Amino acid sequence: MTVTYQSRADVPEIEKWRFEDLYVSTADWEKDYQFIETMLPKLKQFDGAIHDGASLYQYLSEKEEVSSKFNLVYVYGMLQADVDTRDTAAQSLVDRAKQLAVKMSAASSFFMPFLLSLEESTLKEYIEQESRLKYFEQDLFDSFRYKAHVLSKEKEEILSQLGEALSSPSHTFNMLNNADIKFGEVTKDDGEKVELTRGMYSKLIEDENRDKRREAYKAYYKPYLQLKNSIASTLASNIKTNVTLARLRNYPSALEKGLFGDMVPKEVYENLIMSTKANITPLHRYTALRKEKLAVEELRQYDLNVPLVKGVKLEISYDEAYETILKALAPLGEEYVSTLKTFKDTRYIDIRETPGKRSGAYNLGVYGVHPFVLLNHHDDLDSMFTMIHEFGHAMHSYYSSKHQPRISAGYSIFVAEVASTVNEVLLINYLLKNETDEMVRKHLLNHFIDQFRGTFFTQVMFAEFEKITHEMAEAGTPLNAEAFNNIYESLFRQYNGDEVVFDEEVKYGWSRIPHFYRPFYVYKYATGFASAIHIAEKLLAGDETTLACYLVFLRSGGSDYPLELLKKTGVDLTTSEPIADALKRFDQLVTEFAE
């Protein structure tokens, strides 16, 4: 039975983050905050005063010190706000940190235009003069890629001052979606009406009772339909802001701006969408199979998540899930498993769902401290998969921080999803291999197919939605609730097939997706999933070379561009092979399940 708490104060300390790992008290936080404020005018004084290797090194080293302290300042407030979004004191810390970020950006806005005004030969000369600049060399030369996209010093300063205002659509949606939203009511088994929570919804939408699923579905979407115009306005503003920034910075398109940092050609993004839609038939076959197995006259959206194998309800406690995860990850070696084992008792994980806590799950790696994993745990199979997914990120953060200097420890989201999804694939294979009950094995196979659909196909659909909406904004086409509805409804039909009969709520799916406020982000789930399928199957086959290469990949942080890091594991996303292989695997899973 899932443990539920009405207050965070009721949760055992061992199941909550230890904020003292960041700061013993808010007074210590305040000291770092004040230190950063005093350092910003000093950084600004370097404007026009960098003339040789020594002064360049002095600026970069002081900037790194300020940035590392700011990271702690921001994270401390953010984590506290996330465990209770209603906590005004925590929100105040976050707001102050955001204001400080704007000041930091303004103080250092001169540097990129200055750097790009240098000749490459001059920069090389500076590095020869000051050997300690070797530490910054890769970053400095990488910055030259941005030469065509950096504005004049004055314009950069103006943009940096607008930073907080430009992020307001995302902030507004997060407050609506996490703090203010009130879902409709659902009926408990005893007939009592209660307000739906996200945690309840994730359980009820999989309930075998179709009336319960329908009631939860309607209650969940109720506030999104009521707020459709407000949310459409925040999303449209976010898209237009992104398009405007891309134009100001001379990118050919918002998509290419989104891919530039990872040095991913737009063909990789477009190939992902085209390859998926060219091989969409197995997903349509699975939707038809779902309708047949559920024996419904009309298949609805609230029928797409219920397990097709009846009577299998896996109750898995948090402790049991943790032990299973450690066994499933054995192919990654003893060091990996023993390190992950320590995370439980060191309070790296905030486990329980409580009122006001941010929904979902994430890992946040903090250099020089440790990873922080947020969960909203329920004692079921989904929660175990969420755990192992976030543990993949956490171990990636742990290894990168341990083996890389600060400057290259941070890794791209593009490679992050590989580390999390390899873990998921190892878990499902472990469960299928060790389960003897045939009905449970069918249930697990069904679960893997649904995970595949959610992590791969749905994310590709989201990626196409982003591409279309940004292209509309670039063409000056109005973006509003109706436009978003039409695009989303059309895509949902293309990806899920003609078997699904649409309720009114289907077309409002766009209104509840936080990832749309981080443009061109979701496609990385799909490329990461395809890459992970390739790596995990080699690990399961006992390929020692792949294991060695994969651990090197985890330790590499951001020391190279994502596509190059993946090539070291044997995955080349500039070809269609990894996507085609993943889709072939999905076809096999559906065929096996149908039989």
Helices first, then strands: H and E counts in the chain = 27, 5
Q: Tell me how far the alpha carbon of residue 237 is from its chain's centroid.
A: 21
Are 316 and 379 a contacting pair, CB within 8 Å?
A: yes
Are 513 and 454 a contacting pair, CB within 8 Å?
A: no
**Distance of alpha carbon 324 from alpha carbon 226, whole angstroms:** 42
Please say if 315 is a catalytic residue.
Answer: no
Torsion angle of C-alpha atoms 246, 247, 250, 255, degrees rounded to 10: 40
Catalytic residue among 157, 390, 424, 474: 390
Are 400 and 565 a contacting pair, CB within 8 Å?
A: no
What's the residue count for the chain?
595
- Give me Rg for the CA atoms of the chain: 25
Residue keyed to tokens 């005093």: 38
Please report, for residues 102, 138, 152, 558, 560, the alpha-carbon distance to residue 112 in angstroms, rounded to integers and kept in the order given.
Answer: 16, 15, 9, 20, 21
Which run of H or of E encompasses 349?
Answer: strand 349-350
Are 300 and 214 a contacting pair, CB within 8 Å?
A: yes
**Distance of alpha carbon 187 from alpha carbon 216, whole angstroms:** 9
β-strands 185-187, 193-195 pairing: antiparallel
Is residue 211 helix, strand or coil? helix
Start-to-end C-alpha separation, the chain = 33
Q: Is the torsion defined by CA of 277, 282, 283, 284 positive or negative? A: positive
Task: Write the DSSP assignment of 416-470 as a string of letters.
Answer: HHHHHHHHHHHHHHHHHHH---HHHHHHHHHHHHHHHIIIIIHHHHHHHHHHHHH
**Distance of alpha carbon 154 from alpha carbon 48, whole angstroms:** 13
Please report, for residues 365, 408, 553, the alpha-carbon distance to residue 139 in angstroms, rounded to integers and kept in the order given.
Answer: 21, 9, 19
Are 238 and 521 a contacting pair, CB within 8 Å?
A: no
User: What is the 8-class DSSP label of residue 505?
Assistant: G
**Distance of alpha carbon 71 from alpha carbon 492, whole angstroms:** 39
**Distance of alpha carbon 26 from alpha carbon 35, whole angstroms:** 14
Are 78 and 174 a contacting pair, CB within 8 Å?
A: no
Are 414 and 528 a contacting pair, CB within 8 Å?
A: yes
- The catalytic residues are 390
